[in-house]
Amino acid sequence: MPDGRTQDLFPLFTVHRSLLTNSGSPLICVSLSFPPMDDALLKTPLNEVHRASGARMVDFGGWDMPVQYPAGIAAEHMAVRTGVGLFDVSHMGEIEVTGPQALDLLEKVTCNRVANLQDGQAHYTGLLNEQGGFIDDLLVHRVGEGHYFLCVNASNQDKDYAHIAAQAEGDVKVDFVSKSWAQIAVQGPKAVATVQKLTDANLEAIQYYWFSQGVVAGVPGILARTGYTGEDGFELYVPASAAVEAWNAVLEAGKDAGILPCGLGARNTLRLEAAMALHGHEISETITPLEAGLAWIVKLDKGDFIGRDALVRQKEQGAPRKLIGFEMRDRGIGRDGYPVVVGDKQAGVVTSGGPSPYLGTNIGMALVEQPAPGIGEPIGIEIRGKKTAAEVVKRPFYKRDRA
Amino acid sequence: MYPKELLYTKEHEWVKVDGDTAKIGITSHAQDQLGDIVFVELPKVGDKAHATQSFGTVESVKAVSDIYAPVSGDIVAINEDLIDAPEKINEDPHVGGWLISVKISDKTELDTLMTADDYAAYVSAESES
């Protein structure tokens, strides 16, 4: 599922010096200083709320976003696994595609079968280039016949819109509506009960990956039973002007359940445990869905679409690389960008890796050359020049119990 | 907030001098900025620390950070407790969360370090810049 990361494999936060700096390794560093308000950064409608609540803000692909609140990443993570957490994901992009040929356009630019969607249903899919790589990953929601609502990654939204608009033919309109919407994700085993306090809509009737238009916290919006944490919950799309109202209402409604506001730090550890892809990491312009273990979103038999020829060839010849999950066996944390060693040979790279707050182990995903090692086989992760033992394990690392 | 008996570096380490040995750790400010610390990599007793050079790493959930030696010398002790309980650095950064102890080879290196007041001023200036 999409998130707001930059295209670049090794993105983001303001890098500071020495102790609080990246030790020559390609990964994320937390800025030491509380960054000053930077007018060049984009802000969500909840920016002031985050700052007032003591969030640590970072430059996240050009957006001034909370990486964590005072509770800290581990506590925020556990709130989502055991109770409920609240995320501002208003930086995500929204695109509306409408008109009699909206379906044709979306079938052409995305790899999943849009015709399968019913009114009120959503699916995960890819916006692919001719080589079969991901321009972006996204959610397509079918609002009604000839009316689709797309949720795309923050840092890719401009190019996504440009690409889709450029492919439009005939009677179809593509509108970039990101500025109109705020998005608040309410996630965790107590998320549904929390949101239910704020709406008359019968949330239990909304299945996973379905959505409903309705009023939530007195605000008209879209209630989608989707998420990027591996937990049950809702992603609420509300008008940008009502974001603060909705945010505060959810915080209040979740009080008894111990709700915590959660930053991008916890969002990343949660999606990693759930082994969900992050653009710029597990998937990118040069990584195909077949390599990333996402063959289930590729419908080669639906007719032509951009990237299809490349994927047909790749399927015939076999994808050259494969995404695997690993767990560290030696002490050490295999982080984004670290080399992966299979046998004695460097055979890939960690796409995302870090500590798992829920499992208490160090986990990661890596893109490795075929033939890839199987479940249970040993691999090495090169951590600051030292080969450190890990084992290939099944993805996802964490799977919730479904009632 | 910053104990008076310690000396501080611009890289957010602290030093506690006791005769010719120096205990080294990271400051409360540093641990707060790093967040939940989950892993520490330390040198071995008998290794040498070189002033301004990295002697280990501290990892939080999201970040890996080098730790720099404020003074040079032989490493005479490491805090073994941190191997299984790195969170000690968050809980008690200036005492129980110490990292290594060094036999100081050149005491003049201490002259370049900051007092608690200087460090507090340095941190607040850095946060505003």
What are the tens digits of pLDDT across the range A197-217?
999 999 999 999 999 999 999
List phi, psi (to 5°) of A266.
-70, -35
Sheet of A134-144: strand order equals: A121-128, A134-144, A147-152, A93-98, A173-176
Give me the residue from A29, A73, A331 closest to B36, CB to CB. Answer: A73
Q: Do B65 and A21 touch (CB under 8 A)?
A: yes
> Do the strands A63-68 and A56-60 form a parallel or antiparallel pair, or are they unpaired?
antiparallel
Task: Give yes or no for a cis peptide into A396 (omega within 30° of 0).
Answer: yes
What DSSP designation does A231 have? S
Q: Do A29 and B63 touch (CB under 8 A)?
A: yes
Return the amino acid letter for A45: P
The angle at the Cα of B65, spanning B6 to B92, to the nearest 5 degrees, equals 40
Q: Do B61 and A355 touch (CB under 8 A)?
A: yes
Give me the residue from A13, A20, A332 closest to B65, CB to CB. Answer: A20
pLDDT above 60: residue A33? no
Which residues of chain A does B70 touch, with a Cβ-Cβ cutoff of 8 Å? Answer: none
> Do the strands B64-68 and B100-104 form a parallel or antiparallel pair, or are they unpaired?
unpaired
Give me the residue from B26, B62, B129 closest to A19, CB to CB. Answer: B26
DSSP A267-314: HHHHHHHTT---BTTTBBTTB-TTTTT-GGG--GGG---TTHHHHHHH
Return the amino acid letter for B41: E
Q: Do B61 and A333 touch (CB under 8 A)?
A: no
The residue whose two tokens read 């998005």 is A183
pLDDT tens digits for range A153-182 = 999 999 999 999 999 999 999 999 999 999
First to last CA, chain B: 21
| pLDDT for the residue numbered A401 | 86
pLDDT band at A403 (very low <50, low <70, confident <90, very high): low
DSSP A178-213: GGGEEEEEEESTTHHHHHHTTBSS-GGGS-TTBEEE
Distance CA A151, CA A92 (A): 7
pLDDT above 60: residue B87? yes
Closest-CA residue of chain A to B90: A72
Question: Token pair of A141, please?
Answer: 């929601």
What are the contacts of A157-165 at 24+ separation with CB within 8 A? Answer: A157/A92, A157/A93, A157/A95, A159/A135, A160/A93, A160/A95, A160/A127, A160/A135, A160/A136, A161/A93, A161/A95, A163/A109, A163/A127, A163/A135, A164/A95, A164/A97, A164/A105, A164/A109, A164/A127
Residue of B26, B64, B91, B123 to mutate for A, most A C-beta atoms under 10 A? B64
Which residue, A305, A306, A301, A340, is CA-closest to A323? A340
Question: Token pair of B72, please?
Answer: 């040079």
pLDDT band at A315 (very low <50, low <70, confident <90, very high): very high
Closest-CA residue of chain A to B62: A28
Residue of B59, B62, B123 to mutate for A, most A C-beta atoms under 10 A? B62
**Letter string b/e over residues A57-76, b meaning 16 or more CB atoms within 10 A of that residue's CB:** bbbbbebbbbbbbebbbbbb
Domains and CATH numbers, chain B: 7-128 (2.40.50.100)
Whole-angstrom CA distances from A326 to A269, A363, A380 are: 15, 6, 10
pLDDT above 80: residue B91? yes
Q: Do A335 and B64 touch (CB under 8 A)?
A: yes
Candidate from A2-6, A60-64, B37-41 with smallest mean pLDDT: A2-6
Closest-CA residue of chain B to A270: B61
Give me the residue from B35, B38, B128 closest to A30, CB to CB. Answer: B35
Residues of A with CB under 8 A from a CB of B: 13, 17-23, 25, 27-34, 36, 56, 67-68, 72-74, 265, 268-269, 331-333, 335, 354-355, 357, 362, 384
Average pLDDT over residues B102-110: 97
Give me the residue from A22, A29, A32 closest to B126, CB to CB. Answer: A32
Average pLDDT over residues B71-77: 98
Which residues of chain B does A350 touch, with a Cβ-Cβ cutoff of 8 Å? Answer: none
| pLDDT for the residue numbered A30 | 37
The percentage of chain A sitting over the pLDDT mark of 90, rounded to a whole number, equals 89
Distance CA A403, CA A193 (A): 14
Q: Nearest CA to CA, how far is A387 from chain B (Å)?
A: 14
Q: Which residues contact B28 (CB under 8 A, 6 or more apart)?
A: B1, B2, B93, B94
Give me the residue from B10, B63, B129 closest to A30, CB to CB. Answer: B63
Return the amino acid letter for B114: M
| pLDDT for the residue numbered A37 | 54
Residue of A10, A12, A18, A56 to mutate for B, most B C-beta atoms under 10 A? A18
Strand pairing partners for B77? B101
Give me the residue from B13, B61, B126 closest to A265, CB to CB. Answer: B61
| pLDDT for the residue numbered A19 | 44
Whole-angstrom CA distances from A250 to A77, A180, A193, A195, A270 are: 18, 20, 11, 7, 20
Q: Do B61 and A32 touch (CB under 8 A)?
A: no
Superfamily in which the A320-403 domain is placed by CATH: Aminomethyltransferase beta-barrel domains (2.40.30.110)
First to last CA, chain A: 23
The percentage of chain A sitting over the pLDDT mark of 70, rounded to a whole number, equals 90
pLDDT band at A38 (very low <50, low <70, confident <90, very high): low
pLDDT above 90: residue A39? no
- Options 3.30.1360.120, 3.40.50.1820, 3.40.800.10, 3.30.1490.20; CATH of A1-317: 3.30.1360.120
Q: Nearest CA to CA, how far is B126 from chain A (Å)?
A: 6
Which residue, B103, B59, B113, is CA-closest to B77? B103
Return the amino acid letter for A364: G
pLDDT above 80: residue A267? yes
| Domain edges within chain A | 1-317, 320-403
Q: Do A31 and B68 touch (CB under 8 A)?
A: no
Q: Nearest CA to CA, how far is A257 from chain B (Å)?
A: 23
| Mean of pLDDT over chain A | 91
SS3 A239: strand
Strand pairing partners for A328? A390
Question: Token pair of B51, please?
Answer: 């002033």
Q: Do B11 and A18 touch (CB under 8 A)?
A: yes
The residue whose two tokens read 């030790």 is A23
pLDDT tens digits for range A287-311 = 999 999 999 999 999 999 999 999 9
Average pLDDT over residues A344-361: 97
Q: Do B64 and A67 touch (CB under 8 A)?
A: no
Residue A221 in contact with residue A213, Cβ under 8 Å?
A: yes
pLDDT band at B127 (very low <50, low <70, confident <90, very high): confident
